[in-house]
Structure 1
């Protein structure tokens, strides 16, 4: 560490020259992952640069680049701008801010460290969440001149939400307040009062100067009134995650079924918790099948045991059904299995969350469809510990954090995020765009998930269909308002009735008089409208009926959701392809006129989008076809019905 009055650096003594030797020297040491977070310009990147430099983790070529960049951005004399070691994006260097999450490795004589430098700007909150998701500890910086700010509180709240239990409050830039003890203690007490209910297991406050190096690696004479540890000493005292994980019951999520030949069938994955040995009794979830560990295989040969943090291939003594995404666990202490949950969600996409829409949910190596309910509440992260921390919300926008209920299309093995990040943390992926839109933490399974079970019946859907001498179908008419959906669907049903077919027509307007009378026309309500209709149509198809539905159903995702509810081939998408100008000319209900006048909000085709089918089974154009011609064309396409 450079003395507070002597900022002359000695690169020959500090700079590592041989990368391979450096890594080999630290190979067997324990690893701590931590993040630096806090408000804008609190000095996070500078602090990490100082840690790298003083820990001798800066290499000769990096030092040369650092000196060159420091001179280019205006640093004078022998002062180095340590932030430039971390801010790698050109936009970051130009603006002097952190945008992306930068990961850096360094080590000392006691342990290895991976630090994530996370951005302080509110608009990059999602990047901070990404960095915190794998961290064991957080270094929360506060500018000594500014004290605890809104973003300080935001990041502290996110840290505890993401399961970080060890926090170091680094009161930075103490050199700019003349190392004033009263300033430090006021900030320490302010933060401690704010975070008293956050459940942090360790909270250490340290006065530092990232620029000068005070109390970063070594304790500084400039703060002789401070008797606590340096920042590095505090990091060395944080318990390693692997040590806690090994004490937990055994868990391994199957990443790959290894079957190179008929004689070998192994299950490869990362042991996330516990210890496993040959002969141990295990349970495969969600099926619940029990088996015994036959052997533990690695690239370097068999093992007598495997512990948390190791990637292995397990073979089982019994032949049981086990595939990618399943969890192999201790037989006497398995995780829970459920399909309905309460979860905390951080929304990370420019497009708002759509309640009722199906998203891919990826947890461990398992991917399922999850449907999200509207939030119970949104968390006001500007005041997370106060009485106004819960806000009413119908959706979540970018960087919004909320608590909601979700259901998956099949049971999954899980543990609450507070107990296991591996089995409690998930991401959500938009099915249409294949884009990650949110991350989340499962809090607990809903009671109804255990209390509601599918009741088997003796009369199957095939028997219902045979009695009616027909194959069930759901004829899903979609198109703009005024396209002719209801008229054509009605004509098709009349023709089917003449053919002695058993049918039922679900019309959009009619359904809103009863089943869906509580729904409006917002995007979320439209999604829920189609979900309910899909469930009703499925039940009617189970009864052996040919179901006709006439709904705008503007979104592809919801039409696909209904398709996925039914057996292959039973969902028939019929696109009534009528141009907007033609539908608007008809306007028998006067709806387009009201929408154009601003008297009718969220009207499809005007101020709410319509996503036309990309590959419908049937397409009719009412400009070129009469109603009878369209009906005959549809019936010809769906025949035979037996």
Structure 2
């Protein structure tokens, strides 16, 4: 049975579901690697194999399968031989279930990589051994590694691909390993795994290869099966962004009013004292309503309607938190920005800011620094706007007060996007580093 149609895909009592993303530069072989994982783990149907074997954009010789076509589904992707959109694929082994996102390598589609990486537990950073044999990493490898670190991805796996094209030269691998070690030290990655492989031939992808006697580590799939996945959202403080207010029977004294949404982090029980933020009004949880009736408790990931004992003013965009562990309420904060729009940042303009279910307007008060993606150091550019794909720190001010957390503490209330009011393009993805008191 194919993993995508397996009804038990998300329910097996094993090592858990690992969400991973492949990243790196154009033509590093990301799509081919995912295709190889799907093919060797028997995660595709016979008719899919037949379809890619007859594809007009097939780039392999003879009867060899072009496994990249398993993820490059758009016509433009197959025609150009590049990945444009994020493609999600699912497969499983006896040890674990996997959700894998194939992210574009081209600079123009960095925004798509950020989208795919925002929910990933692990990142596979591919490096083309033929293009960096001397140890000089490509710009997109540096950019994607930096973004993976900023987004808090816990497991970084560096896959040195196309080793078959450099005759499995150990010295080439060693130079790339040393170069990535220096990169990791500069951007703050404390630990990473690195291995040599060939996605095209399958060496060191699912099973260990005889061609790398000098490599003592596991094959890629074995490594991915061993990674620890901890659902930290369940251990964090309660954050319940209100999506909608449900009300009926308004002409009666016992009318129903509930606050619908999905718990972003933590848990809540009937009888808990909560705050409505940013207003700070307190209330007691009267009941928790789900599709099948009422429940006593709910936790991160659960969609639920919260009914309160007291009549309070709460609406879409507000956040319910425990009285003992509130978020910080502020209108000004410092954040890390990844600028995604082709139009450069304009400090004179206002942008729409979306954080969870809250939509407000924001202005960039001050650009503190921009990260030089080549030297991997922050450069003071207080008067210089961000251009497309720039990464740096800025101070933002919002029209409305927000319930804020540091991104590394609680991602749900620590992340946001900026939207251009005129074009409605996503201008930037942001990660809050600290709130600034009024």
- Is TM (by shorter chain) over 0.5? yes
- Specify the SS of the correspondent of 2:192: strand
Residue 315 of structure 1 is matched in structure 2 by 307
By how many angstroms is 1:382 displaced? 2.0
Instruction: Give yes or no for the alignment of 1:158 onto 2:143.
Output: no
With over 3 angstroms needed to count, the CA separation of the structure-2 counterparts of 1:233 and 1:319, relative to structure 1, is farther
- Change in Cα spacing, 1:320 to 1:392, as seen in structure 2 (3 Å) is closer
Note if 1:26 corresponds to 2:15.
no
- The equivalent of 1:118 in structure 2 is 103
Distance 1:291 1:345 in 2: 35
How does 1:166-185 map onto structure 2 within 5 Å? 166-185=155-174
**1:225-255 C-alpha deviation (Å, 9 max, x unpaired):** 32322222322333335x2111111211111
- Tell me by how many angstroms 1:381 deviates: 1.4
Residue pairs, 1:423-572, within 5 angstroms: 423-446=413-436, 449-450=437-438
Alignment of 1:99-248 (within 5 A): 99-147=84-132, 148-200=137-189, 202-240=191-229, 243-248=231-236
Q: TM-score under structure 2 normalisation? A: 0.91
The answer to whether the aligner puts 1:282 opposite 2:281 as a matched pair is: no
Equivalent residues of 2:366, 2:396 under 8 A apart: no
Q: Does 1:395 align with 2:395?
A: no
Q: Aligned residue pairs: how many?
A: 427
Q: Is the 8 A contact 2:4 2:90 kept in 1?
A: no
Structure showing the higher helix proportion among its residues: 1
Per-residue CA deviations over 1:319-374 (Å, capped at 9, x if unaligned) read 22211111111221111110001112222222222213221100000001111124
Offset, 1:124: 2.3
> Larger radius of gyration, structure 1 or 2?
1
1:97 paired residue number: 82
Deviations 1:4-42 (A, max 9, x none): xxxxxxxxxxxx46963xx21323043222211111211
Tell me the equivalent position of 2:29: 43
Gaps of 5+ in 2: none
Which residue number corresponds to residue 47 of structure 2? Answer: 61
RMSD: 2.1
Query: Residue 361 of structure 2 corresponds to which residue in structure 1?
Result: 369
Deviation string for 1:461-484 (max 9, x for gaps)?
xxxxxxxxxxxxxxxxxxxxxxxx
TM-score between the two structures when normalised by the length of structure 1: 0.63
Secondary structure of 1:223's partner?
Answer: coil
Q: Is the 8 A contact 2:367 2:381 kept in 1?
A: no
Distance 1:18 1:381 in 2: 38
User: What residue number does 2:292 align with?
Assistant: 300
**Separation of aligned partners in 1, 2:40 and 2:332:** 50
SS in 2 for 1:234: helix
**SS of residue paired to 1:272:** coil
CA 1:393–1:173: 2 relative to 1, 3 Å: farther
Match of 2:240 among 252, 255, 279: 252
Unaligned runs of 5+ in 1: 1-15, 451-642
CA contact (8 A) 1:374 1:394 kept: no
Which is worse superposed, 324-333 or 183-192? 183-192
**1:401-423 CA deviation, whole Å, 9 max, x = no partner?**
23211111121101111222211
* CA deviation string 1:448-467 (max 9, x = no partner): x33xxxxxxxxxxxxxxxxx
SS in 1 for 2:243: strand
After superposition, give the CA deviation of every residue in 1:97-140 in whole Å (9 maximum; x if it has no partner). 11222222222223322222112222322222222222222100
Counterpart contact for 2:53–2:65, Cα < 8 Å = yes
1:413 maps to which residue?
403
The corresponding residue for 2:72 is: 87
In 2, the alpha carbon distance for the partners of 1:405 and 1:156 equals 24
Is the CA contact 1:286–1:413 (under 8 Å) kept in the aligned structure 2? yes
SS in 2 for 1:232: helix
Q: Deviations over 1:63-91 (max 9, x none)?
A: 1211111x753533431111111112222
SS of alignment partner, residue 206 of structure 2: coil
Contact conserved, 2:340 with 2:429, CA < 8 A, in 1? yes
Residue deviations 1:522-541 (CA, integer Å, cap 9, x gap): xxxxxxxxxxxxxxxxxxxx
Counterpart Cα distance in 2 of 1:46 and 1:390: 40
Higher strand residue share: 2
